[in-house]
Amino acid sequence: MNIILVADAHAKARSITLDWRHWTMGGLVLLVVFLGFTLAFNFITLRWAAATQHPWLAAIVLADQRAAAAKVQERVQDHLNAMAIRLGELQAQMLRLENVGERLARTAGLKPSDMPSMDSSTAPGRGGAMSSLPSRNLSMAQFGGLVDTLSREMDVRQDQFSILETMVVSDSANKRFMPTLLPVTDGWFSSNFGYRIDPFTGQQSMHEGIDFPAEPGTPIVATASGKVIAAEWHPAYGKMVLIDHGNGLVTRYAHTSALLVKEGDLVVRGQKIAAVGTTGRSTGPHLHFEVRLNGVPQNPARFLQAAAGR
């Protein structure tokens, strides 16, 4: 582009040629002027609005504050949701521990009052003097770490409770196969285990059981769970029942008047198996009760006294 400059009618004309460099420089100048004007206008406007507390500026600031608060609230809510999930898991684990504790208490024969630590309705007492060191709030990360540590400790306690429950239940099951229950209700011994004067011969002989005098027909119960290996007539014992309790332990119930079980039957502790009588080599109605371990006679009173001690 050529620009011709004329000073007057008699002067010589001058021409100026504008190329792309001039246009670029002019554009930059205009841009700088525009930006400067815009910044100055915004600065003056904001100063004026802040000085006069214009509602428009207050609305903008309030909107920014609300947006920032919403983002913070969203992050906090995410953390709370995660903590709520973990808290639910801990509550479920606590319920499982309480159930295991109750089963252990029932198996061990304890009452709820005997195990106050299992009562979750009241919190245990705690206290202590104020520390001289300044207190501080827990961060979300520290709180999460404490919850994780508690969760791991509860997992360990649950495993320990499960192992203990297995041991207690196993021990309880073993006790069911020990002949510790009286075979006759309110029975008493008329003849103990050991050497005595034989009522038929008058000689000293070994008595391999104990005798329970009772009225004919009095129920006889199994002293422990087991399998009937004999329910038959014996020349000396009369009508008798043999029960195998496992581990080489066998009990004998002799001189009965009636047999209520047969060979091969499975009986449970306390089940009626016969009735008191005076069959076989007997001087009157009574129950002759024996305990043998691997075929060797044992004193039945030791098993019955152990049950009484518990």
For residue range 224-236, what is the model confidence (pLDDT) as tens digits?
A: 999 999 999 999 9
Rounded to 5°, angle at Cα 133 from 127 and 136: 80
| Per-residue tokens: 287 | 């129950």
Residue 309 and residue 178 in contact, taking contact as beta carbons nearer than 8 Å: no
Residue among 195, 192, 185, 198 nearest 301 (CA): 192
Residue among 178, 184, 186 nearest 272 (CA): 184
Report residue 270 CA to chain centroid gap.
33
Q: Where are the beta strands (DSSP E) in the chain?
A: 2-5, 14-17, 194-197, 204-207, 210-213, 219-221, 226-234, 238-246, 249-259, 266-267, 272-276, 286-293, 296-298
pLDDT band at 78 (very low <50, low <70, confident <90, very high): confident
Kindly give the interhelix angle for 55-108 and 140-176, rounded to the nearest 10 degrees.
20
DSSP state of 183: S
User: Residue 242 to residues 115, 234, 254: CA-CA distances in angstroms?
Assistant: 41, 11, 9
pLDDT at 166: 61
Q: Which residue has the higher pLDDT, 295 or 25?
A: 295
User: Is the predicted pLDDT of residue 196 greater than 70, yes or no?
Assistant: yes
Q: Which residue has the higher pLDDT, 244 or 39?
A: 244
Q: Which residue has the higher pLDDT, 192 or 95?
A: 192
Contacts of 255 (CB under 8 A, 6+ apart): 237, 238, 239, 240, 276, 277, 278, 279, 280, 282, 285, 286, 287, 288
Q: Which residue has the higher pLDDT, 299 or 158?
A: 299
CB burial of residue 62 (10 Å; 0-12, 13-18, 19+):
exposed
Span 55-81, average pLDDT = 72
pLDDT > 90 in the chain, percent: 26
Query: Which pTM was predicted?
Result: 0.50
| Per-residue tokens: 69 | 């608060």
pLDDT band at 189 (very low <50, low <70, confident <90, very high): confident
Contacts of 281 (CB under 8 A, 6+ apart): 200, 235, 236, 237, 238
How many Å apart are CA 177 and CA 263, to the nearest integer?
18
Largest CA distance in the chain: 178
pLDDT at 15: 62
Residue 189 and residue 266 in contact, taking contact as beta carbons nearer than 8 Å: no
